Amino acid sequence: MRKEASKPRAVLPNATPRLREEYQIGRKLGQGQYGITYLCTHKSSGTHFACKSIPKRKLVCKEDYDDVLREIQIMHHLSEHPHVVQIKATYEDSVFVHLVMELCAGGELFDPPSRSFDQIIVGVVEACHSLGVMHRDLKPENFIFESTDEDAKLKATDFGLSVFYKPGEVFFEVVGSPYYVAPEVLRKHYGHEVDVWSTGVILYILLSGVPPFWAENDTGIFKEILKGELDFKSDPWPNISESAKDLIKKMLEMDPKKRISAHEVLCHPWIVDDRVSPDKPLDSAVLSRLKQFSAMNKLKKMALRVIAERLSEEEIGGLKELFKMIDTDNSGTITFEELKEGLRKVGSELMESEIKTLMDAVTKFSLCDIDNSGTIDYGEFLAATLHLNKMEREENLIAAFSFFDKDGSGYITFDELNRLKHHQIHVGHFVSKLRYSLFKSGIGNFLLLMH
């Protein structure tokens, strides 16, 4: 039971502008346990968004405030994923915390089953787990379509019960929704495997139209979940493929240690349309970002480091937790062995030489002197794992440009680039200096020659 003690004044670490200075608030879109969602319109651009407003009077203790901040951090942390609702901005006043998100107006996931829908849902779970996030409240109501168009994207939303976790970490708090909660949650001893169980329940419902564990009240539902008996005899199960039933059995395995992982679900024959499962593992989100970073030109890598250092706590909180998960000895740096083990835990199977190449690509471009320690510090890790959508924001690009434009002339010159220690970056012979527009367009192409 949470006690109303040492209640903080603010959720966000820094003061923000007032929401109504930048957005026009419209009609109510929905209401959940902790907040109300409104249609809102950005005054400058006229773009429509959804605004989830959480009354601070419902936050009775420090843990409640921490929960809201963590939800914001997790949404930023998952911002790369095309099937996760994007958070745009956060605001706080004396009465509310406001989360401005992309508007999804296409309705909830209760349509006829489709392998593509199942793949999307499990893909979100796999991305969460590879980034050290456990959702804990997966259900059809938390997946919505971005619009009413036929080809609209399905997006995951509501990360209010989500938490950061380390592999092997055990949780005890009973959370989730009755039909979808895993048996180990009811036993108050669980880990990230609960998300696969909940996804298995969703798949069962999408295929049959009814939940696998049903009773007239919550207590009855929980008793049925703890029994774990699946009905594959009633209609429509006789007409559903054995492959689909095999997958559901593996997802609704009572023993979480024997339960199939999210990555293994994505490789199951039913999900991959009965083709042979891929023999090459999918890259985890961490590995994908490290590979992207290693392939960048020097200026882009350095710009990401600048941007990483100016982001707010709510934007980089997820990466901070991820760094702590990999830095198992809490030394403040990640060694080769720690990176290798961290990637292994999230399903990556790289050779040691490949991991060494990735480490070299990260540590080679620090903005300070390198001590050749062969480790990745926190700043380097942030730059290497920061998603590229942060670079697309105008204010971040301007900040990065200003870092290189030391004299504030509005141009980056040869001298300014060459003053950066250990970074021989030269502008191509056809460009004598870079103004902002060229910097913005050239940061991702071959405008820069690296030496």
Give the model's pLDDT for residue 447.
37
Q: How far apart are CA 172 and CA 190, in angstroms?
A: 7
Q: What CATH number should be reported for the domain holding residue 324?
A: 1.10.238.10
Residue 68 lies in a domain: yes
Give the domain range for residue 404: 290-450
Which H or E element spans position 49?
strand 48-55
Same domain, 251 and 311: no
Residue appearing with tokens 């699946």: 230
Residue 374 lies in a domain: yes
Verdict on whether the full-model pTM lies above 0.85? no
Residue 258 lies in a domain: yes
Q: How far apart are CA 125 and CA 262, in angstroms?
A: 6
Q: How far apart are CA 294 and CA 73, in angstroms?
A: 25
Residue 1 lies in a domain: no
The order of strands in the sheet holding 87-92 is 23-31, 36-42, 48-55, 96-102, 87-92
Number of other residues whose CB lies within 10 A of the CB of residue 92? 21
Report residue 292 as tokens: 């992207």
Same domain, 321 and 422: yes
Q: What CATH number should be reported for the domain holding residue 84?
A: 3.30.200.20
User: Is 62 marked within a binding site?
Assistant: yes
Q: What CATH number should be reported for the domain holding residue 174?
A: 1.10.510.10
- Among candidate residues 137, 158, 195, 327, the one labeled active-site is 137
Q: How far apart are CA 135 and CA 128, in angstroms?
A: 7
Give the model's pLDDT for residue 269.
87
Q: For residue 50, give every residue at least 6 positions away whose Cβ sits within 8 Å of its Cβ, in sequence order, or none.
A: 29, 37, 38, 39, 40, 100, 101, 102, 103, 104
Residue appearing with tokens 């893909």: 123
pLDDT per residue, tens digit, the chain (451 aa), is: 555 556 778 999 888 999 999 999 999 988 877 789 999 999 999 999 999 999 999 998 899 999 999 999 999 888 778 899 999 999 999 999 999 999 987 766 655 445 577 788 998 998 899 888 999 999 988 888 888 887 788 899 889 899 999 888 999 999 999 999 999 999 999 999 999 999 999 999 888 889 999 998 999 999 999 999 999 999 899 999 999 999 999 999 999 999 999 988 988 888 886 444 444 444 566 777 777 777 676 667 777 777 777 777 777 777 788 888 888 888 888 888 888 887 777 666 667 777 777 777 776 655 443 344 578 888 778 777 776 556 556 566 666 666 666 667 766 666 666 665 444 444 443 344 555 555 555 554 433 333 3
Please indicate whether residue 137 is annotated as part of the active site.
yes
Give the model's pLDDT for residue 112.
46
Domain boundary among 41, 71, 102: 102
Residue 97 is given by DSSP the state: E
Same domain, 375 and 424: yes
Report residue 75 as tokens: 């949404």
Residue 214 is given by DSSP the state: -
The answer to whether residues 122 and 268 touch, using CB atoms and an 8 Å cutoff, is: no
Cite the beta strand spans of 290-422 per DSSP E.
333-334, 376-377, 411-413
Give the model's pLDDT for residue 436.
54
Give the model's pLDDT for residue 287.
72
Give the model's pLDDT for residue 323.
83
